[in-house]
Amino acid sequence: MSYFSYQNGALHAENTSLSSIAAQFGTPTYVYSKAALTDHFLAYADACTAGGRPATDSLVCYSVKSNSNLAVLQVLNQLGSGFDIVSGGELLRVLAAGGDPRKVIFSGVGKTRDEMRLALSHDILCFNVESIPELHRLNEVAGEMGKTAAISLRVNPNVDAKTHPYISTGLKDNKFGVAYEDALDCYRTAASLPHINVSGIDCHIGSQLLDDAPLLEALDKVIELVDQLASENIALHHLDIGGGIGITYDDEKPVAVSAYLGRLFARIDAWREEKYQGIPLKVLFEPGRSIVGNAGVLLTEVQYLKYGASKNFAVVDAAMNDLMRPAMYEAWHGVQAVLECNVDAASHTYDVVGPICESGDWLARERVLAVSQGDLLAFQSAGAYGMTMASNYNTRGRAAEVMVDGDNQYLVRKREETSDLFALESMLP
Sign of CA dihedral 19, 23, 27, 31: negative
- Give residue 175's pLDDT: 66
The neighbouring-strand residues paired with 314 are 305, 352
Higher pLDDT among residues 162 and 135, named by residue: 135
| Kind of pairing between the strands at 29-33 and 296-307 | antiparallel
- Give residue 164's pLDDT: 42
Across 248-354, the runs of DSSP E, i.e. the strands, are 282-285, 296-307, 312-316, 335-337, 348-353
Of the candidate ranges 77-81, 167-171, 219-223, 278-282, the one whose mean pLDDT is the lowest: 167-171
The neighbouring-strand residues paired with 33 are 404
Q: Tell me the C-alpha distance between 243 and 262, whole Å.
A: 15
Of the candidate ranges 190-199, 227-236, 274-283, 364-373, the one whose mean pLDDT is the lowest: 274-283
pLDDT band at 341 (very low <50, low <70, confident <90, very high): confident
Q: Which residues are documented as binding site?
A: 244, 286-289, 325, 329, 358, 385
Sequence-ordered list of residues with C-beta below 8 angstroms from that of 224, at least 6 positions apart, any chain: none
Q: Tell me the C-alpha distance between 83 and 54, whole Å.
A: 20
Nearest to 196 by CA among 165, 222, 234, 169: 234
Whether 126 is catalytic is no
pLDDT band at 161 (very low <50, low <70, confident <90, very high): low
Nearest to 61 by CA among 51, 48, 50, 71: 48
Region 53-81 average pLDDT: 96
Q: Tell me the C-alpha distance between 348 and 333, whole Å.
A: 18
**pLDDT at position 168 over 60:** no
Is the Cβ–Cβ distance between 180 and 155 less than 8 Å?
yes
Q: All domains of the chain, ordered by start, with CATH?
A: 4-32+293-421 (2.40.37.10), 34-291 (3.20.20.10)
Residue 164: phi and psi, rounded to 5, are -60, 135
Peptide bond into 28 cis (omega under 30): yes
Region 280-304 average pLDDT: 95
Sequence-ordered list of residues with C-beta below 8 angstroms from that of 212, at least 6 positions apart, any chain: 245, 255, 259, 260, 263, 264
Nearest to 294 by CA among 21, 75, 37: 37
Averaged confidence pLDDT in the chain: 93
The DSSP-derived string for 272-283 is HHHH-TT---EE
Nearest to 299 by CA among 336, 332, 330: 336
- Give residue 172's pLDDT: 53
Is the Cβ–Cβ distance between 77 and 55 less than 8 Å?
no
Higher pLDDT among residues 322 and 221, named by residue: 322
pLDDT band at 160 (very low <50, low <70, confident <90, very high): low
- Give residue 173's pLDDT: 56
Q: Which residues are documented as binding site for pyridoxal 5'-phosphate?
A: 244, 286-289, 385
**pLDDT at position 167 over 70:** no
**pLDDT at position 113 over 70:** yes
Q: For residue 53, how many other CB atoms are within 10 A of its CB?
A: 14
Cα dihedral 423/424/425/427 (nearest 10) = 80
Q: Tell me the C-alpha distance between 194 and 147, whole Å.
A: 10
- Give residue 207's pLDDT: 79
**pLDDT at position 343 over 80:** no
Find the catalytic residue in 61, 203, 341, 357: 357
